[in-house]
Structure 1
């Protein structure tokens, strides 16, 4: 997928200004959103709520990277450079959309990351995420915390 600065991922609902919050007065970047595969696994394990990669409404599913640590950090994914803007807390729309009671509570503070695209590029399945700049330890794997 092509990541376009100031727009988002080519073809995404926010790229096309058709996202649920496209007309929100809240000034926050919705150019790209990411969620950890480990979180989805934990939600199923701990809450009994399965969430498929095509259901969570984030753009990218990652593995081995603690996304919460990327708030305020620049990182490269594929050829694109992004900057973590804020945690992507779950909304009531997700719970209604999936019709799975408890999913919102299960994802509080681990619902992913919103990021803006700083530099255009192509993102492909399997691309690594690497922190750009001085914050080299920002993207330590969650497994390293144990």
Structure 2
């Protein structure tokens, strides 16, 4: 009986070890870090000028691609939108970069774009397909006619 009791405990111990060794640790997902250094929130830009931005990206898994764009907050009216995607040709874990978006002067020869708030959206994807989206709200206006 004593031998059976020892076998019973040994079987229980082996089953316990097998159960917990079969459990895998959950992988920690680390998304890319994106910083919009400039512009700052609520910066005013004018049609016909450039939206200048300075960005930084950081990811130990390597930044594969990023994009930047302008999205109008008010979808009614005559609005401008823009998006540009950038693929990196090398394995890069950190970098800072500057870009410009040239705003058109007018929608057409006789019609202006509407003044309004826009989201400057920056997206970054790493080599493990983790995605980060960072937004800053800016204002784009028409220049006052003199």
Q: Please classify the TM superposition score into its range, dividing by the shorter chain length.
A: under 0.3
> TM-score scaled by structure 2?
0.25
Structure with the higher fraction of residues in strand conformation = 2
Structure with the higher fraction of residues in helix conformation = 1
> TM-score scaled by structure 1?
0.25
